[in-house]
């Protein structure tokens, strides 16, 4: 599979413009383009999907483990002619304090893919050579096959930049001038999602494609992509139920799980330093054979979508379907009832704070969600979903499933998290480890376990704390998780839908 990784020295250099534009330009030439994004970001893949007509897919070595990067890539790239992978932050930036883990450089090496470095050339000329030289030589295992110069001011500026780069050994594969028509509006958590911009997003992606087609050597980029090394792994399959090898979980400060009661069978536990909150419980019921396999009927799992809930990994729906669910998407801004026959509910991330008035005004759906939760049906909510289940958001009534209030703040909470399940829930058994990512400017009060609810997770870093809510069959948390890294989550959830 020909493939390229689009990287940059730092955030704000123009990776999304170049990657999305390249996807659109190649698709415009009749190629089937597979779009990918390094890291946990949900927003950029929405623009990638507009450019290619295929779901944007994430490659996150922290959430899923390095061993799944190649298989997930091949799964997403099935049937395509070429793949474009947009990096995250700077090329060598990854999980804080974890070396190259989850960096664009690590993903490029795992994929054996050449890297194209996007450089914001504004306010520099000859210095660009020193910058590019540093990135080319920093890690010999990362192959930087060329440079695209962004925000070039004039022909004279371009000539100076090209002259400076002649000695570096990284060819200039494109030059892009400043172009306001490709700018994408941003707000408190980054770019405004494509699903909220409708026609404007389509126009912006078309402009990005036209700019890249005019300013970049597409033939040279395709030739570079064809030079990617062979991958020896098999494509990921949502129907394969055996979990991947355990992830190595860092234990800073000695924060580690207790030893198991006997080899191979850890006992339910609270995270160290967070005593008195774990509860032992009987394991989740598991039928003979993989959950969902060989069943004659499917259970309906409603998944929130629409403009308010745009954060979702494509693999989640695939895993639910493979476990025996019929996934039905509904829009909490428009639909006044849950899909008929709903046996379980998944409410992912998004921007309910932007649509709080509209969500609150849809009283029939809020009531239906509350009644579903009260009936004992499994409910899984992440970040935006957590806010939606609260009693109120910025003073406006929400679903009232949880006795907690949410509000906007000026403080950004951002970063990867290592978590331990405090007790049994519809997503995990007590003591199970999960990796997640937080990204929000809201706060929920209280932050964990309120009224009849218990805390969902004990978090390891950056500080030890309890987080989230488990109440009967409701699991609500700020953590965004990638279920491909823990395939038992979807199977467990669907089985609870069958038996609840």
Query: Which residue numbers are catalytic?
Result: 383
Q: DSSP labels for 133-183? A: HHHHHH-TTS-EEEEEEEEE--HHHHHHHHHHHTTTT--EEEEEE--GGG-
Helix (H/G/I), strand (E/B), else coil: 90? coil
Omega of the bond leading into 462 within 30 degrees of 0 (cis)? yes
- How far apart CA 364 and CA 335 sit, in angstroms, is 9
Structure tokens at 21: 């534009």
Q: DSSP labels for 398-433? A: ---SSS-EEEEEEEEEEEEEEEEESS--SS--TT-E
DSSP state of 113: -
Q: Which of 388, 397, 403, 481 is nearest to 442 (CA)?
A: 388
Residue 362: Cβ within 10 Å count: 18
DSSP state of 285: P
DSSP state of 370: H
The strand pair at 465-467 and 457-459 is best described as: antiparallel
In this structure, the dihedral spanned by the alpha carbons of residues 35, 56, 180 and 144, taken in order and rounded to 10 degrees, is -40
Structure tokens at 347: 């409410």
């Amino acid at each position: 599979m020909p493939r390229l990784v689009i990287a940059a020295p730092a955030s704000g250099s123009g990776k999304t413009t170049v990657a999305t534009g390249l996807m659109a330009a190649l698709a415009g030439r009749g190629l089937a383009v597979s779009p990918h994004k390094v890291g946990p970001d949900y927003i950029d893949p929405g623009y990638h999907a507009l450019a290619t007509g295929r779901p944007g897919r994430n490659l996150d070595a922290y959430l899923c483990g390095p061993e799944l990067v190649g298989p997930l890539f091949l799964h997403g790239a099935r049937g395509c002619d070429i793949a474009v992978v947009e990096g995250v932050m700077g090329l060598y930036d990854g999980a804080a304090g974890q070396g190259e883990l989850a960096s664009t450089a690590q993903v490029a090496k795992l994929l054996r893919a050449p890297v194209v470095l996007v450089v914001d050339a504004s306010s520099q000329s000859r210095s660009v050579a020193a910058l590019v030289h540093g990135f080319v030589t920093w890690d010999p295992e990362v192959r930087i096959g060329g440079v695209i110069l962004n925000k070039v001011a004039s022909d004279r500026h371009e000539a100076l930049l090209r002259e400076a780069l002649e000695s570096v050994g990284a060819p200039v594969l494109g030059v892009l001038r400043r172009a306001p028509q490709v700018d994408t509006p941003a707000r408190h958590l980054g770019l405004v999602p494509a699903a909220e911009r409708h026609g404007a997003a389509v126009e912006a992606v078309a402009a990005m494609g036209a700019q890249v087609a005019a300013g970049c050597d597409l033939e040279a980029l395709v030739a570079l992509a064809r030079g990617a090394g062979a991958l020896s792994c098999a494509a990921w399959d949502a129907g394969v139920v055996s979990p991947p090898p355990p992830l190595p979980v860092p234990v800073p400060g000695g924060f580690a799980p207790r030893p198991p009661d006997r080899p191979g069978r850890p006992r339910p536990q609270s995270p160290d330093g967070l005593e008195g909150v774990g509860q032992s419980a009987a394991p989740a019921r598991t039928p003979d054979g993989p959950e969902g396999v060989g069943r004659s009927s499917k259970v309906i799992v409603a998944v929130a979508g629409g403009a308010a809930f745009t954060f979702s990994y494509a693999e989640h729906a695939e895993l639910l379907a493979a476990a025996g669910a019929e996934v039905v998407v509904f829009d909490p801004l428009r639909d006044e009832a849950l899909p008929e026959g709903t046996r379980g509910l998944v409410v992912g991330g998004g921007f309910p704070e932007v649509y709080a008035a509209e969500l609150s005004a849809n009283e029939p759906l809020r009531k239906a969600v509350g009644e579903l939760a009260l009936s004992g049906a499994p409910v899984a909510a992440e970040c935006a979903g957590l806010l939606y289940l609260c009693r109120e958001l910025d003073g406006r009534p929400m679903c009232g499933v949880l006795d907690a209030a949410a509000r906007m703040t000026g403080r950004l909470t951002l970063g990867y998290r290592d978590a331990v399940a405090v007790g049994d829930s519809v997503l995990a058994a007590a003591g199970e480890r999960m990796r997640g990512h937080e990204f929000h400017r809201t706060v929920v009060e209280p932050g964990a376990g309120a009224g009849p609810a218990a805390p969902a997770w004990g978090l390891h870093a950056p500080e030890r704390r309890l987080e989230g809510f488990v109440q009967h069959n409701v699991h609500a948390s700020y953590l965004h998780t990638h279920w491909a890294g823990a395939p038992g989550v979807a199977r467990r959830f669907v089985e609870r839908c069958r038996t609840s």
